């Protein structure tokens, strides 16, 4: 997997939710490959620290674009504010996303529906709407949506989150159809269990409960997922990796996991 044949026309990547987890790992992976990086997130101090690391360690060019992906106007203003040299975004990684709680569908708080749907679904739509037309105009580009195994089948306590990730599959498939007469590519990367801050957010800051999710197995890391993203982006231009389901070896479905390793 390390022998990358990079299409050197792809030079600038925008990663949403880059301050931690899979997004941060993608930023590091793309910096290693020589990309210029536009990093979105909400935690400016974390983004600043990541920018410093990427600049010092990889000599990467980095622009920080802090905004909440749920805020369409802020997203538009942020993209408009990019210096001309940075406006040619070649790879869009729609990664920002989250789950809140493990509640039954009829007990999930409507405010939580809104946060998950607005971030995981409308956030992707917003960025895709802002960035894809430029890609079409330039005749090159790749949209990576970070979906989930949760989009393939619902699990107990996951109704709303699973619905958002099923929506990510539909949005990815629909966009691929809409772009079929262009050189652009669309990839839906669907990870299983990845140890990031995902479960800490799910359990509203309860790290002990979050740690138990991954105890007794070897979960994926953000870097494992970033490697899959890079594989898709570095495929020859005529090869479109449409969808990838990637999970730990000790996981078979969202709910069938061997905790004895
Ligand atoms: P993390 O919690 O580590 O990272 C999520 C990132 O998204 C955070 O940096 C967070 O920033 C950011 N984010 C959340 N909401 C917004 C917002 N409204 N605007 C901008 N940034 C936002 O978790 P992961 O890295 O695991 O999650 C990344 C993606 O991977 C998500 O889409 C998730 O659904 C998906 N995924 C994760 C799996 C896992 O097991 N971990 C498995 C399958 C898919 P902030 O600190 O500001 O909240
Ligand atoms: C994250 C994977 O199965 O915990 O999308 O929902 S799962």
pLDDT tens sequence across 31-55: 999 999 999 999 999 999 999 999 9
Per-residue pLDDT of 135-170, as tens digits, reads 999 999 999 999 999 999 999 999 999 999 999 999
CATH for 12-193+220-246 is 3.40.50.720
Which pLDDT value is given to residue 260?
82
Examine the pLDDT at 8 and tell me if it is beyond 60.
no
β-strand partners of 62: 37
Question: Residue range 210-221: average pLDDT?
Answer: 97
Mean of pLDDT over the chain: 96
Per-residue pLDDT of 86-134, as tens digits, reads 999 999 999 999 999 999 999 999 999 999 999 999 999 999 999 999 9
Per-residue pLDDT of 59-76, as tens digits, reads 999 999 999 999 999 999
Alpha helices in the chain (DSSP H): 21-32, 44-58, 72-80, 110-117, 123-138, 159-178, 198-202, 207-214, 222-233
Residue 120, helix vs strand vs coil: helix
Which pLDDT value is given to residue 44?
98
Q: Please give the structure tokens belonging to residue 224.
A: 């494992």
Question: Measured from the CA of 193, which atom of ligand 1 is nearest?
Answer: 40
Question: 86 alpha carbon to ligand 1 midpoint, in Å?
Answer: 24
Examine the pLDDT at 10 and tell me if it is beyond 90.
no
**pLDDT above 70: percentage of residues in the chain:** 96
Which pLDDT value is given to residue 1?
43
Tell me which residue of 2, 71, 85, 26 sits closest to 223, measured CA to CA: 26
| Confidence band for 7, pLDDT divided at 50, 70 and 90 | low
Mutate which of 15, 16, 17, 67 for ligand 1 pocket (most atoms within 8 A of beta carbon): 17
Active-site annotation holds for 161: yes
Mutate which of 21, 151, 152, 161 for ligand 2 pocket (most atoms within 8 A of beta carbon): 161
């Amino acid at each position: 997997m390390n022998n990358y044949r990079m299409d050197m026309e792809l030079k600038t990547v925008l990663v949403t939710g880059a301050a931690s987890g899979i997004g941060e790992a993608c930023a590091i992976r793309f910096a290693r490959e020589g990309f210029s990086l536009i990093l979105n997130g909400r935690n400016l101090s974390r983004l600043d620290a990541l920018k410093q690391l990427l600049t010092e360690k990889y000599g990467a060019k980095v622009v920080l674009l802090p905004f909440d992906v749920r805020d369409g106007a802020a997203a538009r203003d942020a993209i408009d504010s990019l210096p001309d040299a940075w406006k040619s975004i070649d790879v869009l990684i729609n990664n920002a996303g989250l789950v809140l709680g493990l509640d039954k569908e009829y007990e999930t708080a409507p405010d939580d529906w809104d946060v998950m749907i607005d971030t995981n679904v409308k956030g992707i739509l917003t960025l895709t709407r802002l960035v894809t037309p430029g890609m079409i105009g330039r005749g090159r580009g790749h949209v990576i949506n970070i979906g989930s195994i949760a989009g393939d089948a619902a699990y107990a306590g996951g109704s709303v989150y699973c619905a958002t990730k099923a929506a990510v599959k539909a949005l990815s498939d629909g966009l691929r159809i809409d772009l079929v007469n262009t050189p652009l590519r669309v990839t839906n990367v669907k990870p299983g269990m990845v140890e990031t801050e995902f479960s800490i957010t799910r359990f509203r800051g309860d790290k002990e409960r979050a740690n138990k999710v991954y105890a007794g197995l070897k979960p994926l890391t953000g870097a494992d997922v970033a490697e899959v993203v890079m594989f898709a982006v570095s495929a020859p231009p005529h090869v479109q990796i449409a969808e990838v389901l990637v999970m730990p070896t000790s996981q078979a479905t969202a709910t069938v996991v061997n905790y004895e390793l």
